[in-house]
Structure 1
Amino acid sequence: MGRIRNCSHRFQPSGRAEHDFHGNNRQQNAPGSSCAHGGSSPVPPEQKFHALNPALSDADMTNNSQKPAPEVYEQILAPISISSEVGEPLYRQLRRALEHQIRVGGFAPDAPLPSSRELSRELGLSRNTVNAAFQELLACGIIESHARRGYFINAQILDASAPLPHNAVVGPTAIDWSQHIRPRVGADRPEITKVSNWREHRYPFVAGQVDERDFPRLAWARALRDALDPPHLHYSLRDSVDEDDPYLIDVLCRRVLPSRGIVAEPKNVLITAGSQQGLDLLAQTIMDSRSTVAVEDPGYVDARHTFARTGAELRPLDVDEHGLIPPESFAGLDALYLTPSHHSPTNVTLSVSRRRTILDATLASGTLVIEDDYDSEFRYRGKPTPALKALPNSAHVVYLGSFTKFLAPGLRMGYIVGDPVIIAELRSQRRYRIRHIAGHPQRAMAMLIDSGQYHRTISRRRTQLQRKWRLLVEALEKYLPWDVSAPPGGVSVWIRGPQELDCIELQAACLREGVVIERGDVFFDDPSTHRNFFRLGFAAIDAAAIEPGIRRLAKIVHGLGL
Structure 2
Amino acid sequence: MAESLIVLEPQADKGLQQQIREKIIQGILSGGIPAGHRMPSSRRLAGQLGVARNTVVLAYQQLVDDGFLVTRERSGFYVTDSVQSHGVISPGESGTGVATSEPDRAFWRERCNPVHVSRRALRSRPANWLQYPFPFISNEYDPRLFPGAEWRECSRDIYAGREVAQWATLGANEDDRQLVEQICTRLLPRRGIYVDPGQVLVTSGLDQACYLLGELFMGTGRQLAMVRPACAGTEEIFLATGVNVNAVTQDSDGPELGTGLTDSDCWYLQPNAHNPTAVTTSLERRRQLLRLAGEQGAVIIENDCEHDFCYHGSPLPPLKSLAGGESVIYLYQLPRAVDPGMQLAVMVAPKPVVQRLRALRHTLRERVPAINQRLLAKFIAAGHLDAATFRITRQLRERWVALGEALMHHLPKLLVRRASCGTACWLELPDRVSAEQLQKQAEQQGLLLEVVREYNALRIGFSAIEADRIEAGVSILASLINGELSQDEETLATTGGRRLNAADITAEFPGTVLLGTNALGESYRIEVLEDGTLQGYARNDVDVDETDTGHWWLQGDMWVRQWRNWSYGRQAAFYVVRDAHQVKWFNEEGLLIDTGIVARE
TM interval, shorter chain, is 0.5 to 0.7
Does residue 427 of structure 2 align to residue 489 of structure 1?
A: no
Relative distance call for 1:538 and 1:450 in structure 2 (3 A) is same
* Shift of residue 432, structure 1, vs aligned partner: 2.0
Aligned counterparts of 2:277 and 2:267: Cα–Cα separation in 1: 18
Relative distance call for 1:177 and 1:289 in structure 2 (3 A) is farther
Match of 2:345 among 381, 394, 414: 414
Match of 1:427 among 337, 352, 358: 358
Relative distance call for 1:460 and 1:248 in structure 2 (3 A) is same
Letter of the structure 2 residue corresponding to residue 554 of structure 1: A
Aligned counterparts of 2:260 and 2:150: Cα–Cα separation in 1: 49
Aligned counterparts of 1:397 and 1:179: Cα–Cα separation in 2: 43
Q: Is the 1:370–1:397 contact (alpha carbons within 8 Å) kept by the matching residues of 2?
A: yes
- Share of identical aligned residues, percent? 29
Relative distance call for 1:192 and 1:369 in structure 2 (3 A) is farther
* Shift of residue 485, structure 1, vs aligned partner: 3.5
Secondary structure of 2:476's match? helix
Match of 2:321 among 390, 400, 405: 390
Letter of the structure 2 residue corresponding to residue 393 of structure 1: G
Secondary structure of 2:306's match? coil
Partner of residue 189, structure 2: 258
Partner of residue 270, structure 1: 201
Letter of the structure 1 residue corresponding to residue 105 of structure 2: T
Aligned counterparts of 1:285 and 1:359: Cα–Cα separation in 2: 22
* Shift of residue 176, structure 1, vs aligned partner: 4.0
Aligned counterparts of 1:428 and 1:197: Cα–Cα separation in 2: 40
Match of 1:514 among 429, 446, 451: 446
Q: Is the 1:224–1:441 contact (alpha carbons within 8 Å) kept by the matching residues of 2?
A: no
The gaps in structure 1 that reach 5 residues or longer are 1-166, 522-526
Q: Is the 2:301–2:328 contact (alpha carbons within 8 Å) kept by the matching residues of 1?
A: yes
Partner of residue 548, structure 1: 472
* Shift of residue 333, structure 1, vs aligned partner: 1.2
Q: Which has the higher contact order (CA 8 A, sep 6+)?
A: 1
Match of 2:386 among 447, 455, 462: 455
Secondary structure of 2:364's match? coil
Richer in strand (by share): 2
Relative distance call for 1:169 and 1:488 in structure 2 (3 A) is farther
* Shift of residue 188, structure 1, vs aligned partner: 7.1
Aligned counterparts of 1:177 and 1:236: Cα–Cα separation in 2: 43
Secondary structure of 1:411's match? coil
Secondary structure of 1:506's match? helix
Aligned counterparts of 1:188 and 1:289: Cα–Cα separation in 2: 23
Does residue 485 of structure 2 align to residue 560 of structure 1?
A: yes
The gaps in structure 2 that reach 5 residues or longer are 1-98, 488-601
Secondary structure of 2:386's match? helix
Letter of the structure 2 residue corresponding to residue 327 of structure 1: G
**After superposition, what is the alpha-carbon deviation per residue over 1:276-327, rounded to whole angstroms, capped at 9, x for unaligned?**
1111111111111111101011222111101100111111101221111121
Match of 1:538 among 459, 462, 474: 462
Aligned counterparts of 1:275 and 1:410: Cα–Cα separation in 2: 14
Relative distance call for 1:178 and 1:410 in structure 2 (3 A) is farther
**After superposition, what is the alpha-carbon deviation per residue over 1:201-226, rounded to whole angstroms, capped at 9, x for unaligned?**
11101111111111111110111111
Q: Is the 1:404–1:414 contact (alpha carbons within 8 Å) kept by the matching residues of 2?
A: no
**After superposition, what is the alpha-carbon deviation per residue over 1:488-512, rounded to whole angstroms, capped at 9, x for unaligned?**
2211111011112211101111111
**After superposition, what is the alpha-carbon deviation per residue over 1:512-555, rounded to whole angstroms, capped at 9, x for unaligned?**
1111010122xxxxx2xx2x201111011122211111122222
Does residue 105 of structure 2 align to residue 181 of structure 1?
A: no
Partner of residue 291, structure 2: 360
Relative distance call for 1:200 and 1:170 in structure 2 (3 A) is farther
Partner of residue 401, structure 1: 332
* Shift of residue 481, structure 1, vs aligned partner: 4.6
Aligned counterparts of 2:211 and 2:278: Cα–Cα separation in 1: 23
Letter of the structure 2 residue corresponding to residue 428 of structure 1: A
- Alignment of structure 1 residues 136-535 onto 2, 5 Å: 170=102, 172-173=104-105, 175-177=107-109, 180-181=112-113, 184=116, 187=118, 191=122, 193-327=124-258, 330-483=261-414, 484-521=416-453, 527=454, 530=455, 532-535=456-459
Identify which range, 341-350 or 475-484, moves more after superposition.
Answer: 475-484
Letter of the structure 2 residue corresponding to residue 443 of structure 1: R
Secondary structure of 1:175's match? helix
* Shift of residue 447, structure 1, vs aligned partner: 0.8
Q: Is the 2:225–2:260 contact (alpha carbons within 8 Å) kept by the matching residues of 1?
A: no
Partner of residue 108, structure 1: none
Secondary structure of 1:473's match? helix
Aligned counterparts of 2:132 and 2:266: Cα–Cα separation in 1: 40
Aligned counterparts of 1:435 and 1:533: Cα–Cα separation in 2: 36
**After superposition, what is the alpha-carbon deviation per residue over 1:434-464, rounded to whole angstroms, capped at 9, x for unaligned?**
3411111211111111111110110111111
CA RMSD across the alignment: 2.1
Relative distance call for 1:178 and 1:480 in structure 2 (3 A) is farther
Secondary structure of 2:338's match? coil
The structure with more radius of gyration: 2
* Shift of residue 179, structure 1, vs aligned partner: 5.1
Secondary structure of 1:476's match? helix
Relative distance call for 1:196 and 1:326 in structure 2 (3 A) is farther
Partner of residue 51, structure 1: none
Secondary structure of 1:371's match? strand
TM-score, scaled relative to structure 2: 0.61
Partner of residue 9, structure 1: none
Aligned counterparts of 2:329 and 2:141: Cα–Cα separation in 1: 27
Q: Is the 1:404–1:411 contact (alpha carbons within 8 Å) kept by the matching residues of 2?
A: no
Aligned counterparts of 2:458 and 2:279: Cα–Cα separation in 1: 15
Aligned counterparts of 1:178 and 1:554: Cα–Cα separation in 2: 50
Relative distance call for 1:382 and 1:338 in structure 2 (3 A) is same
Letter of the structure 2 residue corresponding to residue 175 of structure 1: F
**After superposition, what is the alpha-carbon deviation per residue over 1:24-61, rounded to whole angstroms, capped at 9, x for unaligned?**
xxxxxxxxxxxxxxxxxxxxxxxxxxxxxxxxxxxxxx
